[in-house]
Amino acid sequence: MIRTRFAPSPTGPLHLGHAYSAITAHDFARAHKGQFLLRIEDIDQSRARTTWENQIYDDLAWLGLTWDGQVMRQSQRAAAYSTALNQLWEAGLIYCCTCSRRDIVQASSAPQEGLSAHHTGPDGLVYPGSCRSSIKDRVWINGAALRINISEALKGYNSVTFKNIESDINRPVFYIKDNLQMTDFIGDFVVSRRVNEAAYHLAVVVDDTAQEITHVVRGEDLKSATPIHILLQRLLGHPTPTYMHHPLIRDDAGKRLAKRDDAKAISKFRAEGASPANIRAMIGL
Ligand code: GLU
């Protein structure tokens, strides 16, 4: 059975870009007699707000979208994230990193032998590897972040591959990132900001598996993060769904919409008298 999901972060109003993701994932599931699930990605408790969460339920209902089963909330999933982190730790794939952002910038501007060259990836500057040697200490430092040792993680494979829906929704094509691209442009990514504070990449993978998602539908801005998710699924022994990264809805100046772009908020169009059909027409669905 096909299962899709919509996974907004309650850190601002839903705008036309969110409507595009939610409607596409919903309609795809319904067209295949599958299920559409909702997950509130409130893992960053410093930014999540209940008012935005309530507005999400309200906007989705107004758009005519219904979801199946219970809503999953990341703020209640700490135990599942910690099981996954322990699994990676026991496998010797993650290490403690005490670098500040400043340390990373400094180390990147003065590359040393054995450390990665200065590149940027989905999370900004690719980590130069300064703390990587701490992996042998096997000590979990309180307050440290946890990073994947990407070279260890890639052992035994040549590339990271996933099925990606491009032009034909029923015929996904293979998307491939070879190991060199993974080490140079992704590097040792963070899986936990501190002990018991899972990072987005880990949470999204653990939750997509728990919700048994078969098709992840989301914006193109997350396409560069997808190889990270595939690698984590492989390391954790989870299945890999099919992906679909839809084009981003842009503002009139061609810039992609951000949470703060209240001008394109669904609630604003609602207040001005737009109908759900008008919203669909605006985004071409
Ligand atoms: N929570 C993310 C967002 O609101 C989406 C994550 C995902 O779809 O994987 O941008």
Cα 265–chain centre separation: 22
Q: pLDDT category, 41, cuts 50, 70, 90?
A: very high
Integer Cα distance of 274 and 285 in angstroms = 15
Of the residues 41, 73, 74, which should be mutated to test ligand 1's pocket, given the most ligand atoms within 8 Å of the CB?
41
What single string gives the DSSP state of each residue in 69-137? SPPEEGGG-HHHHHHHHHHHHHTT-EEEE---HHHHHHHHHS--TTSPPS-EETTEEPP--TTGGGGGG
Helix (H, G, I), strand (E, B) or coil at 215: strand
CA of 111 to the centre of ligand 1 (A): 33
Ligand 1 and 72: CB distance under 6 A:
no
Q: From the alpha carbon of 219, which atom of ligand 1 is closest? A: 8
Task: Give residue 225's pLDDT.
Answer: 97
CA 21 to ligand 1 center in whole angstroms: 10
Q: How far apart are CA 161 and CA 35, in angstroms?
A: 25
* Cβ atoms of residues 42 and 74 within 8 Å: yes
Q: What is the pLDDT of residue 39?
A: 98
- How many Å lie between the centroid of ligand 1 and the Cα of residue 92? 28
**Residue 32 belongs to a domain with what CATH number?**
3.40.50.620
What per-residue confidence (pLDDT) applies to 205? 98
* 122 and 166 Cβ atoms separated by less than 8 Å: no
Q: Tell me, what's the pLDDT at 116? A: 55
Identify which of 3, 6, 9 to mutate to test ligand 1's pocket (most ligand atoms within 8 A of the CB): 9
Ligand 1, atom 4, residue with closest C-alpha: 8
Backbone angles phi, psi at 152, to 5 degrees: -65, -45
Residue range 85-110: mean pLDDT, rounded: 92
Q: Residue 259's pLDDT band (boundaries 50, 70, 90)?
A: low
Q: Domain span at residue 45?
A: 3-282
Digit-coded pLDDT (tens) for 58-72: 999 999 999 999 999
Per-residue pLDDT, averaged over 11-23, amounts to: 94
- Centre of ligand 1 to C-alpha 173, Å, is 22
Query: Ligand 1: distance of its center to the CA of 9 in Å?
Result: 7
- 110 HSE (CA, 13 A, CB side): 5
Closest CA to 74 of 200, 193, 195: 200
Handedness of CA 217, 219, 224, 228 (dihedral sign): negative
Distance 174 CA to ligand 1 centre (A): 22
Q: What is the band of 257 on the pLDDT scale with cuts at 50, 70, 90?
A: low
* Mean pLDDT of all residues belonging to the chain: 92
Mean pLDDT throughout 22-44?
97
How far apart (Å, rounded) are the C-alpha atoms in residues 10 and 6? 12
Query: How far is the centre of ligand 1, averaged over its atoms, from the C-alpha of 153 (Å)?
Result: 24
Ligand 1 neighbourhood includes 222 CB (under 6 angstroms): yes
8 lines ligand 1 (CB under 6 A): yes
Q: What 3-state class would DSSP assign to 35?
A: strand
Q: Which atom of ligand 1 is nearest to the CA of 204?
A: 9
Under the banding of pLDDT at 50, 70 and 90, the label for residue 40 is very high
pLDDT at 117 over 80: no
Q: What is the pLDDT of residues 170-207, one digit of tens each?
A: 899 999 999 999 999 999 999 999 877 899 999 999 99
Domain tally, the chain: 1
State whether the beta carbon of 218 lies less than 6 angstroms from ligand 1. yes
Residue 213 near residue 35 (C-beta atoms within 8 A)? no
Q: How many CB atoms are located within 10 Å of the residue 125 CB? A: 17
Return d(Cα 158, Cα 161) in angstroms, integer.
10
State whether the beta carbon of 9 lies less than 6 angstroms from ligand 1. Answer: yes
Residue 142 DSSP one-character state: T
Ligand 1 site, residue 226, Cβ cutoff 6 A: no
pLDDT at position 114: 57
